[in-house]
Each structure stands twice: as C-alpha cells, then as structure tokens.
C-alpha cells in the first residue's frame, strides 16, 4: 500500500504559489498530489528511467526531514519534475543549501526508516511505535559476533549502556538483517523483555521491540543485554555493521571465528550515513583467540562495522 499523501489539492493556483515560494517539502507534496501518482508508481517510473530511489527517501523529502543533496538525488529530482509535470528546475530551485555536518547539528535522532532507507524495513517498522527508540541515547555499546567452523553466523551478543533523553521512554528497537532466506531469534538477557516481533525470512529481516523494565525518566541510565540467535541453515554474511543515528561515545565489535574457518583479511570501516562509498578503513589482526576487535570512540552518526574475506569459501 502506498503512503498517503499529506496535502489537500487546492488546485493549480496553490501548486503555482508553492513552486514560486516554497518551501520545498510542501511544493513536492503538492506536485505529487497534482500528478495523481502514488509514491509506489512514482518510484516505479523513476526506476524505469534510470534514477532509482527508495520510498523511504521520497517520504523523507516530503516530510522535510531530509532533502536531495547528492548528485544522484538531484538527478532523481530532475526526473521527478518531468514525471509529475512541473517546469524543469522548479522543485530543484527550492532545495535549501547543503545541510551542515558535524557533532553540533545532531539535536535528535533521524527517523529509523531514513537511516536504513530500505523498503522491506520501512514496511515492517510501520507496525512499531519507534518514538522511544528515537530518544534512547546509546552511550556505550559492545557486540560480539560468533562465526562457526563453516564460516556461517551463529550468534550476536549485544550490551548497551543507554540514557533517556526525555521522560517516559519505554522501549528499544532491534533490527537484524542477515543473508536472505534465514531467520533470527532475539532473546533478552538483562534490562529488557521481548515485545512485538515482525520478520521477513525471504529478506533475512527480523525487527524486535525490547520493552524496558519501567518508563525511564530524562537522564536515567539503563544497562541492556540481549542475544540474536541465528537459525539453520545460518547466514553466510561477510560483514557486520550498525547504523548509528546519534553520536556514540564508545562502540566495540568483537568478531570471533572458529577453526578451521579463519579469514584471510579483516577490516574495520566507518562510512557516512549519506554516502556509504565514503569511508575510512583499518586492517584488523586476529588475536590468539582467533578474534578481531573494532574500536570506535566519539563516533558521529555513521555506519560502523567489520567485514572479512576468505582465502576460499569455507
């Protein structure tokens, strides 16, 4: 089902006014509404014309939470203008200056849908109340991924020290996306219990709600622990990563391998949320326990993780 359009059609005059003066999100909503196209159909046409873009991104442009900035996004916007029948450059002219990046601008968490920007996740997240997760700040997080002797993932243990940024914070959201055709089970260990769970095994996707022991008040701290257990035939991923929506003081990822399946190379990487091709890398070395450790300190919102390569497939 397509997302509902959030503007009333007041006729061509209203659209002309918005195209002349903006703001961009309202003009975009009016232009799409005036075209009579659903977001699904608009996305389909953009993809057919060589400028693919996700429903999550289109929705975030309409809401004003994000705006097109990169070259690929602007190319999609120009094609969108043609599809919805507005003058060339009319919507692009309303896009504001590139938004500042850096620690000082992060006053709240971006929407989970925007951060993942993947349609299966967007569909499942619509069934959850994510408002508490938006204001649950991760101060420190430790994760330990276990890789079996066949090179397939077995278990992901996670421990997080969190702080409520406002009052009445009740839950946290866990998103696990592994190889397609697999399923995972989320098992709370400490500081939380299991709430709603939704999955898409065909996409290797599980989303779980972790309920906190009581509503946290602003500034209150909580230590949470849980395990993601992978099930047979077990995913054969070659990486593990997290999309961080807010700055994190400390993030640690251990990846423990099991002989005889030892990787030929392991790399820690940090990538931009906006453009994952922009990243920094650090080569990791196996220790005496066949384990590598990725360390991140004072991280701004980013994609943080570890990937590995096999000399031959286990």
Q: What percent of the chain has pLDDT over 90?
A: 49
pLDDT digit string, tens, across residues 203-248: 888 999 999 999 999 999 999 999 999 988 899 999 999 988 888 8
Q: What angle do CA 44, 237, 200 make, to 5 degrees?
A: 50
pLDDT digits (tens, 9 = 90+) for 46-77: 988 888 877 667 877 887 767 887 777 888 89
pLDDT of residue 311: 87
Average pLDDT score, the chain: 85
Domain ranges of the chain: 12-99, 112-309
Residue 102 has what pLDDT?
A: 36
Pick the more confident residue, 73 or 265: 265
Let me know if 311 is exposed, middle or buried by CB neighbors in 10 A (0-12, 13-18, 19+): exposed
- What pLDDT score does 70 carry? 76
Gap between the Cα atoms of 14 and 264, Å rounded: 61
Pairing relation of β-strands 136-147 and 153-164?
antiparallel
- Looking at residue 1, what is its pLDDT? 35
CA distance from start to end of the chain: 41
* Better-predicted residue by pLDDT, 3 or 150: 150
One fold for 12-99 and 112-309: no
- The answer to whether the beta carbons of residues 168 and 131 sit under 8 Å apart is no
Predicted pLDDT of residue 105:
34
Judge whether 255 and 292 are in contact, CB under 8 Å. Answer: yes
φ, ψ of residue 38 in degrees (nearest 5): -75, 165
- 279-296: buried (b, 16+ CB within 10 Å) or exposed (e) per residue? eeeeebeeeeeebbbbeb
pLDDT at 263 over 80: yes
Nearest to 61 by CA among 111, 129, 121, 109: 111
**Strand 302-309 versus strand 239-244 pairing type:** antiparallel
User: What architecture (CATH level 2) is domain 112-309?
Assistant: Sandwich (2.60)
pLDDT top residue among 213 and 303: 213
User: pLDDT at residue 152 above 70?
Assistant: yes
Q: Per this entry, what is the length of the chain?
A: 314
Q: Output the pTM of the full model.
A: 0.66
pLDDT confidence of residue 291? 98
Q: How far apart are CA 198 and CA 305, in angstroms?
A: 24
Per-residue pLDDT for 191 more than 90? yes
- Would you state the pLDDT for residue 98? 59
pLDDT of residue 96: 74
- Three-state SS at 210: strand
Domain 12-99 bears CATH identifier 1.10.260 = yes
State whether the Cα torsion 121-125-126-131 is positive or negative.
negative
Q: What does the DSSP 8-state code read for residue 92?
A: G
Q: Is residue 44's pLDDT more than 90?
A: no
Strands 193-200 and 205-216, by their bridges, are antiparallel
pLDDT at 238: 93
């Amino acid at each position: 089902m397509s997302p509902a359009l959030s503007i009333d059609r007041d006729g061509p005059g209203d659209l002309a006014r918005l195209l002349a003066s903006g703001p961009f999100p309202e003009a975009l909503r009016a232009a799409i509404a005036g075209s009579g196209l659903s977001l699904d159909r608009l996305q389909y046409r953009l993809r057919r014309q060589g400028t693919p873009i996700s429903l999550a991104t289109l929705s975030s442009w309409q809401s004003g939470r994000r705006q097109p900035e990169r070259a690929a996004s602007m190319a999609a916007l120009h094609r969108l203008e043609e599809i919805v029948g507005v003058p060339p450059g009319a919507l692009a002219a309303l896009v504001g200056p590139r938004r500042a990046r850096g620690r000082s601008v992060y006053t709240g968490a971006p929407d989970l849908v925007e951060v993942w920007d993947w349609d299966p996740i967007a569909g499942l997240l619509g069934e959850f109340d994510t408002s508490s997760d938006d204001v649950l700040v991760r101060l420190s997080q430790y994760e330990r991924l276990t890789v079996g002797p066949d090179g397939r993932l077995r278990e992901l243990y996670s421990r997080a020290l969190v702080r409520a940024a406002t009052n009445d914070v009740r839950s946290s959201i866990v998103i696990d996306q592994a190889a397609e055709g697999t399923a995972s089970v989320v098992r709370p260990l400490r500081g939380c219990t299991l709430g709603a769970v939704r999955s898409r095994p065909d996409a290797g996707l599980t989303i779980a709600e972790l309920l906190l022991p009581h509503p946290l008040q602003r500034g209150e701290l909580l230590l949470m622990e849980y395990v993601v257990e992978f099930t047979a035939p077990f995913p054969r991923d070659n990486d593990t990563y997290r999309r961080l929506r807010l700055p994190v003081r400390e993030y640690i990822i251990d990846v423990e391998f099991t002989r005889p399946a030892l990787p030929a190379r392991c790399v820690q990487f940090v990538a931009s949320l906006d453009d994952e091709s922009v990243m920094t890398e650090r080569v990791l070395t196996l220790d005496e326990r066949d384990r590598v450790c990725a360390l991140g300190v004072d991280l701004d919102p980013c994609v943080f993780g570890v990937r590995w390569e096999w000399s031959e497939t286990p």
